[in-house]
A and B are shown apart, each in its own frame.
Chain A
Amino acid sequence: MRPIELKRTVPVHVFETVASIAVPEARPDLLAVVHLVGARGEATGRDVGRDLLGMDAGLGWRVLERCQRLELVTREQNSGPYRLTELGHRALADEQILLPERSAYAFYWIDDPLLPEVVLGWRAMATESPHDRLALDKETRDLAKDAKAGRGPARAACPRQLAGLLGVPTAALHDGGLVRLLELGEGFADTAGSVELILTLCADQEPTLRLHGQVDSQRIDRSLEVGDRVEHTHGTLWRHLVRNAVNVPDERLEEWEARFGIGTVGRSFSELGDAARRAFEERLTVRNVELDHAGRFDGTSLTVAIAPESDDDAHQWADWLVWDGLHDHHARHELEAHLTAVTQRFPHHRVELPVPGVFLQDARRRLRDDHRAWRLVAPGDLGLWEVTHG
Chain B
Amino acid sequence: MADEEWVDHRDDALPPLWVGTERTGNRTPECLGRLYQAGPNGALRDAIVKVIEGALEMVCLCSFLLSDERIHRALLAVAGRGVRVYVLTASREQLERLPKDEERSRDRIQEHQRRLDELAGKVLVRCSNQFHAKFVLADPGAVWASGILSTANLNPALLTNAELGVTMGADDVGAAFAFFCKAFWSHAVNELRQPGELATCQGRAFPSPAPHPRVIWTLPESTGLGEQVLGMLENATSSVTVAVYGLDTRHRAFRMLEDRAKAGLEVTVLLPVRTKVGQAAIELAKAGATVVGVDRLHAKAIVADDQAVVMTANLETHGLDQGCELGVVLNVDETIELLDLLERWEASATWRLVAKATVGQVLGPVMDPGSGETGDVVEEANGHRGRLRWAHRTKAKKKAKR
Chain A residues proximal to chain B, CB less than 8 Å: 328-329, 364, 367-368, 371, 374, 377-378, 381-384, 387, 389-390
**Which residue of chain B has the shortest Cβ distance to A386 in the bound complex?**
B207
CB distance from A138 to the nearest CB of B (A): 74
28 contacts between A and B (CB under 8 A): A328-B201, A329-B185, A367-B84, A368-B82, A371-B193, A371-B194, A374-B124, A377-B84, A378-B86, A378-B124, A378-B184, A381-B84, A382-B86, A382-B180, A382-B184, A382-B185, A383-B181, A383-B185, A383-B206, A383-B207, A384-B181, A384-B204, A384-B206, A387-B206, A389-B205, A390-B204, A390-B205, A390-B206
**What's the dominant secondary structure at chain A's contact region?**
loop
Q: Inside 8 A of B124's CB, which chain A residues have their CB? A: 374, 378
CA distance A384 to B207 in the complex (A): 9
For B, the interface residue count at a CB cutoff of 8 angstroms equals: 19
Q: Interface readout for B97-134 with A: 1 if CB under 8 Å, 0 if not?
A: 00000000000000000000000010010000000000
**Which residue of chain A has the shortest Cβ distance to B120 in the bound complex?**
A371
Say yes or no: is B58 at the interface (Cβ < 8 Å to chain A): yes
**Which residue of chain A has the shortest Cβ distance to B122 in the bound complex?**
A368
Q: Inside 8 A of B206's CB, which chain A residues have their CB? A: 383-384, 387, 390
CB distance from B119 to the nearest CB of A (A): 13
Chain B residues proximal to chain A, CB less than 8 Å: 58, 60, 82, 84, 86, 121, 124, 178, 180-181, 184-185, 193-194, 201, 204-207
CA distance A301 to B189 in the complex (A): 44
**Which residue of chain A has the shortest Cβ distance to B121 in the bound complex?**
A371
> Most chain-A CB neighbours within 10 Å: which of B86, B185, B194?
B185
Q: Inside 8 A of A377's CB, which chain B residues have their CB? A: 84
Q: Inside 8 A of B58's CB, which chain A residues have their CB? A: 381
> Most chain-A CB neighbours within 10 Å: which of B178, B201, B206?
B206
Once A371-B121, A390-B204 are accepted as A-B contacts, the answer to whether A381 and B86 lie under 8 Å apart by CB is yes
Question: Beyond A368-B82, A371-B193, A383-B181: 11 further Cβ-contacts under 8 Å?
Answer: A328-B201, A329-B204, A364-B84, A377-B84, A378-B86, A381-B58, A381-B86, A387-B204, A387-B205, A387-B206, A389-B205
**Which residue of chain A has the shortest Cβ distance to B201 in the bound complex?**
A328
Q: Which 9 A-B pairs have the closest CB atoms?
A: A390-B205, A383-B181, A382-B181, A374-B124, A382-B184, A381-B58, A384-B185, A381-B84, A378-B124
CB distance from A338 to the nearest CB of B (A): 16
CA distance A384 to B84 in the complex (A): 15
CB distance from A237 to the nearest CB of B (A): 45
Q: Inside 8 A of A329's CB, which chain B residues have their CB? A: 185, 204
CB distance from B202 to the nearest CB of A (A): 8
**Which residue of chain B has the shortest Cβ distance to A327 in the bound complex?**
B199
**Which residue of chain B has the shortest Cβ distance to A380 in the bound complex?**
B84
> Most chain-B CB neighbours within 10 Å: which of A329, A377, A381, A389?
A381
Q: Inside 8 A of B185's CB, which chain A residues have their CB? A: 329, 382-384
CA distance A364 to B58 in the complex (A): 12
Q: Inside 8 A of A378's CB, which chain B residues have their CB? A: 84, 86, 124, 184
Q: Inside 8 A of B194's CB, which chain A residues have their CB? A: 371
CA distance A177 to B86 in the complex (A): 77
From A328, A371, A381, A387, B207 is in contact (CB under 8 Å) with A387
Q: Inside 8 A of A371's CB, which chain B residues have their CB? A: 121, 193-194
Q: Inside 8 A of A381's CB, which chain B residues have their CB? A: 58, 84, 86
CA distance A329 to B193 in the complex (A): 12
CA distance A371 to B197 in the complex (A): 13
**Which residue of chain B has the shortest Cβ distance to A387 in the bound complex?**
B206
CA distance A367 to B204 in the complex (A): 23
CB distance from A335 to the nearest CB of B (A): 14
Q: Inside 8 A of B121's CB, which chain A residues have their CB? A: 371
CA distance A387 to B182 in the complex (A): 12
CA distance A364 to B60 in the complex (A): 16
CA distance A351 to B181 in the complex (A): 35
Q: Inside 8 A of A383's CB, which chain B residues have their CB? A: 178, 181, 185, 206-207
Q: Inside 8 A of B86's CB, which chain A residues have their CB? A: 378, 381-382
Q: Inside 8 A of A382's CB, which chain B residues have their CB? A: 60, 86, 180-181, 184-185
